[in-house]
Amino acid sequence: MLGLLMPLAGLLGLEVEGLGQRVKTLVIVYALIALSAAIGMVFLIAAGYIALVDVIGLLPATLVMAGAFIALALLFFIGLSIGESRRRRYIAERKRTTDASAYITTAALTALPLLSRSSLLVKLGIPAAAITALTLLRHKKGSDT
């Protein structure tokens, strides 16, 4: 696979060697940034805890910090649950729409041979279908602009 990508990257003018080294460097730098930020957050939380201990005492400060972080975790969980239910609802709605259009198309294709046998229906149905198609196309063009 890599044997195919190297000539392709060369054709596109990409420096593969330089690109690989740049990606490694960026990964290391971003990992160091994330680690430093995490350590900073830990010390910030520790400083808040020490300040809270000075104000309300050791045990109440511990309970307040524990409750705050449990409440924060609960809020994250609720947010995740809401987002996941919206995603599931969107997928189900899209599936229903796709299924409904598939059923309508199947029914129309199934009924087409039966309807084409009637000469009156052919004379009236073809112009009606053309008018309907034109109306739908005009409506779509009008909604896009």
When pLDDT is averaged across residues 106-110 and rounded to a whole number, the result is: 74
Cα–Cα distance, 124 to 38 (Å, whole number): 73
Please write the tens of the pLDDT for every residue from 11-42: 565 566 677 788 888 999 999 999 999 999 99
Burial classification of residue 82, based on how many CB atoms lie within 10 Å of its CB (0-12 exposed, 13-18 middle, 19 or more buried) = exposed
- More confident of the two residues 74 and 12: 74
Residue in the block written with tokens 């309508």: 104
Cα–Cα distance, 49 to 40 (Å, whole number): 14
